Structure 1
Amino acid sequence: MNVNQIINMIVRIVTRRLMNKGVNAGIDLAARRGKAKEEMTPEEREEARKARKLANRGRKTMRIGRRLF
């Protein structure tokens, strides 16, 4: 394994982690509808929690689908 391959491997790992953080932040923002936690009512917090749970279930489903095909 040469230096170029090692660098590419590290760049891919870092890029993947940054993309995952960005996607998770975007899903959380969409679930909260742009409001801060302090501004939300208990009902809105529960709805946001359910939306995040649904997004996680969707991600798991996509992973399973990729494995099948």
Structure 2
Amino acid sequence: MNQMINMAMRMIMRRLINMGINKGIDVAANRGQRGKDLTPEQRQKSGETSKRAKQAVRMSRRIGRF
């Protein structure tokens, strides 16, 4: 029973941590501004920046496995 609880907690924590990392990347890419306050050009640039940052996080996780 303890193993099942630990497994469920790990799954939940992993999902929450990933959500937190993604949200932090989005906030940093927008430089703390709200989405509605951004111009279309800034919105596009922040989207590209956050996409690259998320890609880098995924790559670092893969490298860290070895």
TM-score of the two chains, using structure 1 as the length reference:
0.83
Shift of 1:43: 1.5
Choose which of 6, 9, 34 in structure 1 pairs with 2:7: 9
TM-score of the two chains, using structure 2 as the length reference:
0.86
> After the TM superposition, which residues 1-69 of structure 1 pair with which residues of structure 2 at under 5 Å, given as runs?
3-67=1-65, 69=66
Instruction: Identify the structure with bigger relative contact order (alpha carbons < 8 Å, sequence gap 6+).
Output: 2
In structure 2, stretches of 5+ residues that fail to align are: none
Shift of 1:61: 2.0
Identity %: 42
Structure number with bigger Rg:
1
Over aligned residue pairs, what C-alpha RMSD do you find?
Answer: 1.3
CA distance in 2, matches of 1:23, 1:57: 12
